[in-house]
Amino acid sequence: MTSTTFDGFGLAEPLTRALARLELTTPTPIQERAIPHALAGRDMLGIAQTGTGKTAAFALPLLHHLMTVGGKPTTRTTKALILSPTRELAVQIAESIADLSEGTPISHCVVFGGVSVRPQIQALARGVDILVATPGRLLDLMEQRAIDLRETRHLILDEADRMLDMGFVRDVMKIVGKCPDDRQSMMFSATMPKPIEDLSKKILTNPQKVSVTPAVVTVEKIAQSVFSVPQRAKKHWLIDFVSKNDTGRIVVFTRTKHGANRLTSDLDKAGIQALAIHGNKSQTARQKALGAFQDGEIDVLVATDIVARGIHVDDISHVVNFDLPEEPESYVHRIGRTARAGRSGQAIALVDPSERAKLKQIIKLTGIDLTPQATDYTVNVLAGELDADDGKRRGPRNQQPRNGRPRNRGKNGNGGRPNGGAKRQNAGGETANRSSQRPSGKPRRSRRSGDRSAANA
């Protein structure tokens, strides 16, 4: 069974409503091939790169089964367990499940280390339908008898190869040993080395193997730049860039919904018209935001990955990765929002030192040299010239504004930012000089009442 649309899978009606709300109509290759087997209750081994849509490939069938069977979990148990190698991925999975199960009685919880265990114990006390967990914290909770896996009928291991690399296999096997033999198990991995094959034989029973080669987005027409900017200074870099450059439409990607809302508020306070779109926004609010962006009523659209597929605007001049994505393939998908319809475009990534490992994965995937360029923000952080709380500049550098705006601070007067008088390719392949400064007399676009209502929807 294959389907070119999600409607063909026969998913529970609340899921079809959620997919429509999220504007997801066409399954990715891994979803098209994996969902029918998962719906049939088969064990499955999925080989697919991250960023190919595999979360929905296991989340949709899982939610369908739980909605179909019904019933509530008993005290301190979970019907389904999803294991993740990292806290960040666990949070992303939980957010996807929340988006897809919105308006249903399905309960879920996410647990990971590095935070207080008490709220997690309290969240598990009544039992949950779906538990997303990292192996170490889950074992701690099991030892404290805060969770029992005796009623777990669905087990999913995401990014099994990373589990292996991070030394979690022994913990995983301890957890699997506490699950019932009568269960559906699924494993997903980007690669298939022999240790993963051996692990699958221990966990899966007569699995269906699904292997997908991810589609590669053409990036030749996209000029890619990477700048070293500490996390707490990123919003100031972005505000400076938008304020001082005659840019077109800009899409900014953040990792979380909360981050998108916070950044939108920061831009708004700086006089930059921006709206956020993410899974918590209603379809009406997202359509209003996209319409305002398309019509030029706002300059910046702040988005999360889950709604990236719904952004179909041909003349986006810049894509800014405010946060690097967890999966390198998501980076390629993000920057593909620009350079559409034969046009050229600019992709910018702001990289905090803690994100260097993610940048290496992106470089490995794309084969492009994306060496971070130093900026004055990096220097100021090292010199202690940024406030520790939010990155605001202090001291004499905050004086003597130029034309009512902070002075340029980088080499050649462009603050380490691209387009500082550099040449830019147009759609015809020709080059033209673009000034790095917005004309001093050019006002920002005025706020309209519709923008504010959409932002607060």
Question: What is the count of structural domains for the chain?
Answer: 2
- In this structure, the answer to whether residues 313 and 243 fall within a common structural domain is yes
Is 198 or 88 the better-scoring residue by pLDDT? 198
In a domain, 170, yes or no: yes
Q: What is the pLDDT of residues 111-125, one digit of tens each?
A: 999 889 999 999 999
Determine the structural domain holding residue 50 and report its residue range: 6-211
- In this structure, the answer to whether residues 236 and 197 fall within a common structural domain is no
- In this structure, the answer to whether residues 149 and 243 fall within a common structural domain is no
Quote the pTM value.
0.55
In a domain, 141, yes or no: yes
Half-sphere exposure of 27 (CA within 13 A, CB side): 25
In a domain, 62, yes or no: yes
In a domain, 450, yes or no: yes
227 contacts: CB under 8 Å, gap ≥ 6: 237, 348, 349, 350, 351, 372, 373, 375, 416, 417
Residue 423 pLDDT > 70 = no
CATH number of residue 338's parent domain: 3.40.50.300
Is 171 or 344 the better-scoring residue by pLDDT? 171
pLDDT category, 96, cuts 50, 70, 90?
very high
- In this structure, the answer to whether residues 146 and 274 fall within a common structural domain is no
Q: What is the pLDDT of residues 262-277, one digit of tens each?
A: 999 999 999 999 999 8
Domain boundary among 166, 191, 211: 211
Q: Residue 248: exposed, middle, or buried by beta-carbon count in 10 A (0-12, 13-18, 19+)?
A: middle
- In this structure, the answer to whether residues 38 and 182 fall within a common structural domain is yes
- In this structure, the answer to whether residues 207 and 232 fall within a common structural domain is no
In a domain, 347, yes or no: yes
